[in-house]
Structure 1
Amino acid sequence: MTDQTGRVRRGWRLALVVFLQVVAAGLPALLVAAYRDRLPERAWVQGWARIWPEHAQLAPGWDRWAAGYLGCLAMAAILLACFARYWRWAGPQRLVVAASWAVATQVASSAALVLASVLTAAPEIRPTPGWVNLVSLLLAPLGGLIGWLLASPLPRPAPAAAAPPPHVERRQLTGTEQAMFSTTLWSARQLAGGGLLVAAGVLPLLAHWPDPTLALPLPVLGLLLSLQAKAKLRVDGDGITLAFPLLGGMRQHVGYREIRFAEVAGRRVSWSGRVDNPRAWGFLTRSGPALVAHLADGRELVASPRDPAVAVALVNGQLDRARAC
């Protein structure tokens, strides 16, 4: 892939990050302008409906209600900052696009459904139905999937061709030997953090909140974190694979053509578990010596098995044999 093609694809992903956030910010105002004659005097919707009629004058007008969705522009700015942090890496950029479309879909569909419930409701004022938030939350993953698909296929880096440097650990493999290393990694901190989020999402149900669906993202996020607390690291003749058994066997695989060399290096961990940042991805359970595979795209694959030197030696031995000819 040429540099020009890479810049075009990055520009396309950047436009996708902003586009739907702008739509979500402006859609409520457009709907209010289109249906103003059929709307009540004030926006007695969502939580405001509960203060009617005693404090009806406190409810905002429809223009002010629609202006509240301009906060999507602040969300767009945050997402742009995330995109800029991953400026050189297409994979994380694609995730930022998916997150932007998921959030914008939830916000835009919520606003549209709130107005639809008002336009189809009886003349008396009543709280917005709880299914509005539930449906918008269910639509969010669909929007994220569409954003992911629109973000275009990821570019493949040029294959690494040089042999590993002489200073790294290696094991000489004979013609019949195959590299094979497998271990299971656990992150107690990530499991505990996910459990706390699940508990925080259950509290609104116990406290009898009027609309507990607003807290639904917390247990969903907590469950996702908890399911990533276990990983399986495997080194074999095809490359390095990091699998997450609790996530239905979701795998991240890197072949030897994408690995420059591997080494044992110290890594400092502030939060154990899955790693994904501009410099590295993988799974670290503790600070200290770790397997660090330097990849052709400039990032690192990091993992902290009990004996990283064994895994490193096998990886470099496989690379030596593959690149000797």
Structure 2
Amino acid sequence: MPQTRHLPVNARRALVAVAPPLLAAVVVLSVFLSLRDRLPGRMATHIGPGGEADGFSGQGAFLAVALAVLLGDAVLFGGLTHWIRTTPGVQRVIAVTGGAAAVLTGWLVVAVLLANADADNAASVTLPGLQAVLAFGAAAAYATVGWFACGRVEESETVAGPSVGTALLPLGDAETASWSRVTGSRVLPLTGMLVLTAGLVVGITTGWLPAVPLLVTGVPLALLTGARITADRRGITVTPTLAPWPRLNVPLERIAEAGHRPVNPVRDFGGWGYRARPGASGIVLRSGDALSARLTTGSEFVVTVDDAATAAALLNALADRERRSPAGG
């Protein structure tokens, strides 16, 4: 529709996330009401891999759960789309994911309702595998359309938030100085332990082969969640506290100016850990103050760490001395 082009980009992305679950909820409710008299009191609500029913519930319970899932999808992904509006690339992915998930869910719920219609015995209900193929196909089609409907990420959307400038740390021409702090995350260790626990449960109950991805993912999440941040003549160096690698270094000659600013992991970068988005990247382990370096390429590198102002002042002093030296031009 021509009017859609005039919607603000954030409104378009919110619509991509919220419209499918709300529309799917209306369709599910309408189909349920139209078939209510033809549905068995005890419905087949889960279809196994062979296409035969292996889970059952009452009509009201099934409808309540289906509507709760769809409305929850709208609230969750709509809220995230609004909250992460300062990270447009992540916002676009979240909006499309929420909409596609609702299309998939709504399709399967309606298919289950239609399969139960006029069934004398819920145990005899079957659902062809083609319905799952069609559901995933519809979700993929919506994801493609939604991706383009979200609009391109404009350059103006990717500019990092302003950092607070800092004065140069008093430093003589012959003096050397180094600043170092340890920073960590509360979210990542908990996530890692949950993933490891899930891996152990899967390994014990179903076998260790399917548990390998969970275990491999959980170990680094649980262990590599703290980092030592160093600012010195080498620039910014980030090293895991429990391992000597992987080490990340931003050389001093690449730093045009250093400052500090508040960072919210989800809103600004879409999550925790090493993050990258158009115009900015960095190590984001928690919310709060962050060392912010504007690089010579025009992009920003951030590290969430306490006392970031002191690190920025030292880097500015070192960079200024480097530029004033004969070797620095």
What TM-score results when the alignment is normalised by the length of structure 1?
Answer: 0.49
Structure of higher CA gyration radius: 2
What TM-score results when the alignment is normalised by the length of structure 2?
Answer: 0.49
